[in-house]
Each structure stands twice: as C-alpha cells, then as structure tokens.
Structure 1
Amino acid sequence: MIMFLIRALIFLASAAVGLIVADWILPGFRIDWSDAWGFLLAIVIFAVLQSVLTPWIASVARRNAPALLGGIGIFSTLIALVIVVLIPGAGLTIGEPYLLTWILAPVIVWLVTALATLLLPMIFIKKKVDERRSGA
C-alpha cells in the first residue's frame, strides 16, 4: 500500500513538472497560477487520465494498429490535455499559436513526465539509502 502511494505521488509530481515545463517553454500553453486549486485539479485529472488512457489506447492499438504502439504515450498525453483544457476551472488553457502549441505540448509534457517518472524515484531512493547508511 505504501509503495502504491509513493508511486502515485511520484506520478502526480511528474505530471506537475511536465505541465510546468510546458508552461515555461510554450507561449500558448498557460497555467492559471492565480488559482492553485485549479492547477491542482489539472494535475490530478491529467495524471488519472494518463494512467487510464495509456493502457487502454495501447490495447486498442495492439489489436487494430500495432504500428502505432510507439506513439501511445504522446497520443494519450494529447487526449489527456484536450480533456483537461475542456474542463472549466482546471487552470489550464491552450491559446495562440494553436497548431504549434497543440503539436508541441503533448511531446514536451510526455517527455518531461517520462523523465521525471524515471528520475524522481532515483532521488527518493538515494535519499532513503543515505539516511539508512548514516543511521546504521
């Protein structure tokens, strides 16, 4: 149970990092920083959608279009972003330049989220190992 919670927190943190980096890099990608609850809502909805959509899209692609399996992560990120942007009060908008932002946002968010999901556990594990070594 504790490992599940740790993994969930890491996934939420990685989703937050991905959305924040997209906000920094892309001119049309906007996080409403004045509404902290809205951004928190966007992170939770995005992370839940990602965790549900990725395996579902992968199974559909495996059955119908196996050649598309490599792009499942980016595609599920795009769908999750579309849904989060459509939810009022979620604290996330995508504006001008529309086409460029909609093409680059899923790639950036997916890449940063994947890297953060890989690196964050290493940081926490290293910290725990160091704590146990110093306490022993």
Structure 2
Amino acid sequence: MITFLIRAAIFLVSAFLGLVAADLVLPGFSLHWDDWWGIVLAVVIFAVLQSILAPWLLKITRRHAQAFLGGIGLLSTFVALLVAVLIPAAGIGIDGPVAWIIGTLVVWLVTALATWLLPPLFLKKKVSDRRDP
C-alpha cells in the first residue's frame, strides 16, 4: 500500500514538473499562478487522465493500429491536456497550435523522465528491505 501511495505521489509530482516546464518554456502555455487551487486541480486532472488513458489507448492501438504504438504517450498527454484545459476551474491555458504541439512534447518528455528517474530515489530502501531477509 505504501509503495502504491509513493508511486501515486511520484506520478503527481511528475505531472506538476511537466506542466511547470511547459509553462516556463512556451509563451502560449500558461499555468494560472494566482489561483493555486486551479493548478492543483489541473495537475490532478492531468495525472489521473494520463494514468487512465495511456493503458486504454495502448490496448486499443495494439488491437487496431500497431503502427501507432510509439505515440501512445504523446496522444494520452495531448488528450489529458485538452480535458484539463476544457475544465474552467483548472488553472491551465494553452493558446495556439504551436503551444499545443510543443507543450504536449515538453509535458510528455518531462513526465516520462520524472517517472523514470524519481522511483529509484524513493523506492530504493523498499527494494533493499525486500532483498535482505
């Protein structure tokens, strides 16, 4: 249970880092920093949708369009961003096609790197405890 909670926290942190990175590097991608609750909502919506959409899209793509398997992460990131932007209370805005395309790439890349690099930092002790009886 603790490992599940740590992984969920890592996924939320990685979503936050991805959204902040896109906000910092793209003029048309903005987090509404004056509304911190909106940012929290945007991060949670994005993270939950990303965690649901990625496996679902993988299953559909594997069944119907194998050539697109490599783009599942990008597609689920785009759809999660789209839904987060469409929810008025979420503190995120994306204006223009360049911000949508580059923003999707930046958020996907940062979240992928964070979900790859953060678990060893927080789950290392848990793994070593299991190995040593």
TM-score (norm 1): 0.89
Would you say 1:53 and 2:58 are equivalent positions? Answer: no
Q: Which digits, 9 at most, give the CA deviation of each residue in 1:9-43, with x for residues without a partner?
A: 00000000000000001110000001111000000
AA aligned to 1:88 is P
Matched to 2:27, the amino acid is P
Report 1:46-85 matches (<5 A). Answer: 46-85=46-85
Displacement, 1:123? 2.6
The whole-number CA distance in structure 2 between the counterparts of 1:120 and 1:93 is: 27
- 2:23 is equivalent to residue 27 of structure 1: no
When the two chains are superposed, the root-mean-square deviation of aligned CA atoms in Å is: 1.4
Question: What amino acid maps onto 1:122 in structure 2?
Answer: P
SS at match of 1:89: coil
What's the CA shift for 1:125?
4.2
Per-residue CA deviations over 1:30-75 (Å, capped at 9, x if unaligned) read: 0000111100000000000000000111111111100000000000
Unaligned runs of 5+ in 1: none
Distance in 2 between the 1:15 and 1:92 partners?
A: 13
* TM-score, length of structure 2 as denominator length: 0.91
The 3-state SS of whatever aligns with 2:50 is helix
- State the secondary structure of the residue aligned to 2:93: strand
- Distance, in Å, in 2 between the alignment partners of 1:3 and 1:122 is 12
One-letter amino acid of the counterpart of residue 72, structure 2: I
Unaligned runs of 5+ in 2: none
Question: Sequence identity, in percent?
Answer: 58
What is the CA distance between 1:119 and its match in structure 2?
1.2
Question: How many residues in Structure 1 have an aligned counterpart in Structure 2?
Answer: 127
